[in-house]
Structure 1
Amino acid sequence: MSVNKLDALEVSGTPEEIGFAIGLADADSIREAVLPLTEFRNAQKFWKGSSYLKSLDAAARSVFPEYVLELEGMAGGAQVEYETLLIWNCRGDLPLPDDAIPESAEHSPEGCTTLLYPAEKGAAAVIAHNEDGPPELDAHCRWLTVSQENGTNFSTFHYPGMLPGHTFSVNSHGLVQTINNIRIDDLKSGIPRHFICRAVLDCSGLEEALVILNR
């Protein structure tokens, strides 16, 4: 049995600099693995240039402009349009059309799962997590470590072209975040979930994170 080695990437700086460095490292993977994905092509076909996508972007810009800058930097580093990465990051917030490609409809409910076994009688809590990302991206993921000017640093499992935070992560305040993916049917325009996940990585503790999640 062989184990695939996970490449590591360390970046630092302003949001734009961090995004650019990630995008530069992800560029080949985005072109070779992300853009050909049926899930991405379906989302792009239906939502590119749409007013709904613009409303998601506007909501992100109004509350989390620093993470928009990060994604814009990522697009610059990867040499793709910002809207391309916005669609990729918002695909879980985009309603699936009735005439969607069958393959996309079949896989739309899928997502990662997290289980927590609470601490008990002196034993440490155990968090178990699996990644259900597209198998086409298996050789394109990284362990990403980010050092920010705001003082909060973090490490996370990273998919190409994605804002950090939607997988499993830990920050320099000891806050651990994993995602238990549950898709809903009554999607409404608002702050895209991956921007919210990214914001949690900058929190100093649970109380601050809950404020963001409950807003």
Structure 2
Amino acid sequence: MGAQVREQELAGMRWLVVSGERDDVFRALGRVAHADVHAVQEALPERHALRGWAATERGRIRVERLLDATRAACGRQLGELRALAAGAGADFEDLLLANLRGDLGVDDGTGCTDLGWRGTRSYVAHNEDGAPALDGHLMLLTLLVDGDVPVTVQWYPGFLPANTFTATGHGLVWGINHVQAARPAHAPGRHFVARAMQQAPTLGAAVDHLRSRPSAGGFAYTIGDRADGRVVVVESAAGRTAVMEADADHPLHWHTNHLRHLPVPPDASGAATADASDAARAARSLGPYEESVARGEVLAGLQPPVGGPAAQWFLDVLTSAPLPHGVHRTAAGADPLMTLCSVVADLTDDRITVRGPAGSTADLPLSAFARGEAGTVSP
């Protein structure tokens, strides 16, 4: 029969819901988002440099090794990217390089902020930061693949739908932060590992997945489970993982784009600590990480309301101000990025708040959001 595609809108953002057999779904997704796939690829500033590097002998060998590791651990997800490229009429090698760029040791900048809270209530909140050229292309995507639980993600066309914010039909949510791995491991690509995790039935299974499939490059995951309210942060970088869980003594956890929990970290900062001031001192000589550390210092100074925060508190933290007073990104001055979408998932009440790049906000049941159902939205 082929895949079915439904289009809708939420908080000023395009929302695609695609259902059917796996290969059909990704081919149909490529077709319907054809223009966006090509526009996003053209907007990637490192595209031509990646092509040139991959054509060298050293680059070719590294890409082949990374591809072999990805094929062995995440062959199904690699097939999804191939089907997406075919549907969009895009060069598979170009999409592959874009999806692997964080696993090659190539500088990939910074971007995105996550908060997790577990007290009497549980929340996961995420700012998706990207280049201004991607404004209008980032969209919401629900995958209703035959045999899979539903998954809704923020999606950059041309990328495997995995490297942003995710909500699944199993009641899991997570936000992802890029972490630059200075020396990537011989391991599968991080986008593919993240996409494979979307079928994990529980938070424990998701953590086990990341421990058993450490990625070549680096991601930090802030994961929440609607079933029991647990919230954990998992750092997975250069073949290693570290796990921190929110609890009564430490209910608030935050993450930006530098490692905080892995000892002797393999990220580009060359130093990791849970103390933001120490991290700032370590990073001040490294321009790309000053901005991430500065956001971390803002978050480290947060004072949640007595009795615990509500969803609006998290949304205010994410969107009220740029540095030096907040973490919202505006692409003003020297900042190259802007916040393209903000979400707050209230795991306790099964609600999600989505704020688009123009400030339009919508609220709906988290479980409905994961299934691609926008019929119960309230402004």
TM-score bracket, shorter-length normalisation: 0.7 to 0.9
Name the residue aligned to 2:129. 132
After the TM superposition, which residues 160-175 of structure 1 pair with which residues of structure 2 at under 5 Å, given as runs?
160-175=157-172
- TM-score, length-normalised on structure 2? 0.50
What is the CA-CA distance between 1:203 and the residue it aligns to?
0.9
Superposed, 1:185-200 pairs within 5 Å as: 185-200=182-197
What residue is the counterpart of 1:13 in the other structure?
A: 20
In structure 2, give the amino acid aligned to 1:94.
Answer: L
Which structure's relative contact order is higher, taking Cα pairs within 8 Å and 6+ residues apart?
1
1:80 aligns with 2:87: no
Alignment TM-score, normalising by the size of structure 1? 0.86
Query: Distance between the aligned counterparts of 2:42 and 2:61, measured in 1?
Result: 22
How far did 1:149 drift?
A: 1.4
Equivalent AA in structure 1 for residue 35 of structure 2: D
- Pick the aligned partner of 1:47 from 51, 54, 67: 54
Alpha-carbon distance between aligned partners in 1 of 2:166 and 2:109, rounded to the nearest angstrom: 23
Q: Which residue of 1 aligns with 2:78?
A: 68
Number of aligned positions between the proteins: 200
Residue 112 of structure 1 corresponds to: 112
Look up the match of 1:211.
Answer: 208
1:172 partner amino acid = G
Residue in 1 that maps onto 2:309 = none
Query: Which secondary structure does the structure 1 equivalent of 2:25 belong to?
Result: helix
SS at match of 1:144: strand
RMSD after superposition? 1.9
Any stretches of 5+ residues in structure 1 without a counterpart?
A: 97-104
- Shift >6 Å, 4+ stretches: none
Question: SS where residue 135 of structure 2 aligns?
Answer: helix
Moved more, 148-157 or 27-36: 27-36
Q: CA deviation at 1:92?
A: 0.7
Which of 1 and 2 has greater Rg?
Answer: 2
Shift of 1:187: 1.4
- Whole-Å separation in 2 of the counterparts to 1:138 and 1:167: 15
Q: Distance in 2 between matches of 1:75 and 1:206?
A: 31
Q: Give aligned-pair identity as a percent.
A: 31
The answer to whether the 8 A contact 2:117-2:123 is kept is yes
Q: Which protein is richer in strand relative to its size?
A: 2
The CA distance in 2 between the partners of 1:84 and 1:212, in whole Å, is 28
* Contact 2:105/2:181 (8 A) holds in 1: no
CA drift at 1:207: 1.9
SS of residue paired to 2:46? helix
The structure with the greater share of residues assigned to helix is 1
Distance 1:186 1:125, change over 3 A: same
Distance in 2, matches of 1:129 and 1:89, equals 21
3-state SS in 2 of match to 1:145: strand
- Is 1:156 aligned to residue 153 of structure 2? yes
Are the counterparts in 2 of residues 165 and 194 from structure 1 also a CA contact under 8 Å?
A: yes
Q: Which runs of no fewer than 5 residues in structure 2 stay unpaired? A: 1-9, 213-379
